[in-house]
Structure 1
Amino acid sequence: MKLRFLGKNSTPGDSPTLYASDRDSYVVQGWKVYANDLLMQLDVPEGQTVVEVPTELFKHLTEDGQESGEVKRFIAPIMLTTEQGTCIVQGPVMRDAEALSQMRLPDYEDCIEVSRSSVMALLEESGGADHQRPA
């Protein structure tokens, strides 16, 4: 899998990053979630994981030709939002060796692959209530 860097939200030691892939998907790199109070609210099937990223990370979708990266709907793959302005994103664990070789992935971070269509749905105006749960 080939990745194209879209952007990152960095502070010293932290580097949530967004990539576009050549498989009509996005790779979201973020902090591993260890907090039991968050994990207990989720059903994470085998082969999937969750990462925490600033909601602003999605603004980098403009680098992939999107008019805006403003999240307007908090639906899957965003499973929860936190009081700190971050979101918990769920998806298949990224284990593609070629993709991982293109990234810097510290031990406290992980990455997931999510379909382009599911990420695009986050940017659409909501027609009704979103069923996203705050953490």
Structure 2
Amino acid sequence: MSTLQKRLTGSRQDATIIAPSNTKQRILGDVMRLRFLGTNSEQGTCPALYETDHGTLAIQGTLIMDPEALADCVNRAPGEVIVEVPKELMRFLRAE
């Protein structure tokens, strides 16, 4: 089991996901900085949206572990996870 998988299969129910296909390399190798874009949580916790200094997005949400839901995913590579966030969180995305 990779370091990434160990980190994501623990008792925590949230995760930070980075979009590109080389996610594992970026999490485990490169130093990355996140800029907070917003949350819809009044407690200031999960869910949240971030912009990275690599030109990607990171999403903090509830880790989906339901095998039937995961079976609906397409082209999910080893080490990739799926998180659930409210649609309203996307309001923090800006048009470029």
The answer on 1:38 being equivalent to 2:38 is: no
Deviating above 6 A after TM superposition, structure 1's stretches of 4 or more consecutive aligned residues are: none
Q: Which runs of 5+ in 2 are unaligned?
A: 1-31
Distance in 2, Cα, partners of 1:46 & 1:59: 30
Q: Distance in 1 between matches of 2:59 and 2:43?
A: 19
Deviations 1:72-100 (A, max 9, x none): xxxxxxxxxxxxxxxxxxxxxxxxxxxxx
* CA deviation map 1:102-134 (0-9, x unaligned): xxxxxxxxxxxxxxxxxx7xxxxxxxxxxxxxx
Letter of the structure 1 residue corresponding to residue 89 of structure 2: L
Q: Which residue of 2 aligns with 1:18?
A: 49
Q: 1:38 to 1:18 in 2, by over 3 A?
A: same
Percent sequence identity over aligned pairs = 38
Tell whether the 8 Å contact from 2:64 to 2:83 is kept in structure 1 after alignment: yes
CA distance in 1, matches of 2:42, 2:53: 28
Whether the aligned pair in 1 keeps the contact of 2:64 and 2:82 (CA below 8 Å) is yes
Deviation of 1:14 after TM superposition, in Å, equals 5.9
TM-score using structure 1 length: 0.42
Partner of 2:92: 60
Q: CA deviation at 1:46?
A: 0.3
Q: Which residue of 2 aligns with 1:28?
A: 59
Q: CA RMSD in A?
A: 2.2
Q: Which has the higher helix share?
A: 2
Provide the rounded CA distance (Å) in 2 between the counterparts of 1:24 and 1:50.
Answer: 20
Q: CA offsets per residue over residues 41-86 of structure 1, 9 Å max, x none?
A: 1242102111101111110124xxx3xxxxxxxxxxxxxxxxxxxx
Question: Which residue number in structure 1 is paired with residue 37 of structure 2?
Answer: 6
Write the distance in 2 (CA, Å) between the matches of 1:25 and 1:51.
16
Q: TM-score by structure 2 length?
A: 0.57
